[in-house]
Structure 1
């Protein structure tokens, strides 16, 4: 068996153990599924959750009985597809750097399982599906969604020129906090901007935790990251990002007229983030990955609080 075959069969270090991509997917398409990060669903969850926060808080502000189910479904499909397209683009740009990092050298492009041309065609196909999803929304939301592509395009280059590429990732990954609101109102308002700012800080925090896995390899490869930049102050820096994120979420909730259930969601979100920060002292790579993945649950707690608030108002 060749090295390429070995890599095609082997799960990547941060993939979910026993995922169907590594165990049941046909060998011919497995590299493309890995390009799309299908065996690492945390990425699309983190892209999706600000959309659901915003859609749910917009339902509260608009007096709707619940978040629009059609919008929530579209955001789900769009998050999966566009995360896949963005990851593929990132891998095309980073294929030489990825070959120098232990955690990423087995990815389809640096390992030679997929050519750059085939990956580019795959990315275009995914992007067209994402565009089809976006066109289901109102014109303002379509325009806003297209505007995010500029940030997505520059993100892969940021780790070469700035110590805080996580901030640029936050600008891109948090964009759904604007779209969920505009999908309901056809415009933006203070709650959406506050949620967007909160999601950016949340992203910086959780992606700093994620970057803790690669510090030694990043130093050797010359890759910049917030984990390297914060150094010995990493726990305090992540704690500050998370604290400001909670404050901004609470302000967004207030601006939208949120009720008790919404604030309970904010409190649950805060408690979860606080638990993560406490665990960061002397953390090893497996624990860092676990804490990073746990942000799905933190985000779901907040989304559930906002959604429950709109439901309870309707039942009252």
Structure 2
């Protein structure tokens, strides 16, 4: 499986990362398939899980979220993000070969064969399954239910201008999982959190997609970046505005207090500052603004945790 050769880092990968400086050469292409040098992906997958877990803790009157569940969600986010990226690269190998930013990825560049990538994907998915099996039966079934969305996502850019919506369905699934892990069921609060996560994902991935809009137009890849075009800023006002409103509704229904809403207010300022400074023709800036959404995730999580502590001890 690991009979590979390292032909250098991927063009859009982080330079001089530990993947390139510490791992044996034969393992580097697999690490790049899983995007280990780019943690932003698993950050964005993990935050909805932790928000949901913290929101459920607020509703249950617990001072802090369940630490063991939080650790499991971190491991699961890393494993499933890696499996998802590997699957995406297998499906998109012909498209990636035609796009400047992606043609040096392990599969189109010949560092890894499709068969090797499939084996690696299965191993990562098995790690995610082991994590999932640590939760209650309802949460296990709920987690398994997301796989159809994950499987469909790479094909959406070929058939709809809204692949970011399907990405949101997949990446925000954790907004249901944390609540389910605590209560063994769902209610309207986590559903609103999930819906807010979907429109947030459409927003940040629209910014990300502006990096590739010229190449995407040439190869026929569709996206909300191409759909919104020069009206991206106006679209983001609607998307990020809906994010804040839906999250506020989830907080109200869960009985969260002032500190949770303070975190949401600070997070809202962060989101709308992205809109204020956005230059859709500056690919480097689009990437940095996309990455900054992890800060938004952290702000919301801290607000929810502090709110739980305050409600319990004050």
- 1:42/1:282 CA distance change after superposition, 3 Å: closer
Query: Match of 1:9?
Result: 8
Alignment of 1:79-158 (within 5 A): 79-158=77-156
Alpha carbons 2:10, 2:105 under 8 Å: kept: no
CA contact (8 A) 1:141 1:182 kept: yes
Match in the other structure for 2:45:
47
- 1:204-256 CA distances to partner (integer Å, 9 max, x unpaired)? 00000000000000011110011001111111112211110011001100111
Q: CA–CA distance in 1 between the matches of 2:268 and 2:281?
A: 20
> Is the contact made by 2:48 and 2:175 (CA closer than 8 Å) also made in structure 1?
yes
The CA deviation string for residues 93-140 of structure 1, in whole angstroms up to 9 with x for no partner, is: 000000011111010011111000010011111111100000000000
**TM-score normalized by the length of structure 1:** 0.96
In structure 1, stretches of 5+ residues that fail to align are: none
User: CA offsets per residue over residues 50-100 of structure 1, 9 Å max, x none?
Assistant: 000000010000001100000100000000000000110000000000001
Q: Tell me what 1:38 maps to.
A: 36
Indicate the residue corresponding to 1:265 in structure 2: 263
SS of residue paired to 1:136: coil
Q: Partners in 1 of 2:232 and 2:286 — Cα distance? A: 12
Question: TM-score normalized by structure 2?
Answer: 0.97
| Distance in 2 of aligned mates of 1:223 and 1:91 | 14
1:201 maps to which residue?
199
Deviation, 1:314, is 1.4
What is the Cα deviation at residue 16 of structure 1? 2.5
Displacement after TM superposition at 1:281 (Å): 3.9
SS of 1:8's equivalent?
coil
Aligned to 2:208: 210
Give the conservation status (yes or no) of the 8 Å contact 1:11–1:22: no
1:8–1:27 CA contact under 8 A, matched in 2? no
Give 1:29 shift: 0.3
1:283 shift after superposition: 4.6
How far off its partner does 1:299 sit? Answer: 0.7
Is the Cα–Cα contact under 8 Å of residues 81 and 126 in structure 1 kept in the other structure?
yes
Shift of residue 11 of structure 1? Answer: 4.1
4+ long deviations beyond 4 Å? none
Aligned equivalents of 1:116, 1:283: Cα separation in 2: 34
> Which segments of 5 or more consecutive residues in structure 2 lack a partner in the other structure?
none
What corresponds to 1:222 in structure 2?
220
**1:235/1:281 contact within 8 Å kept:** no
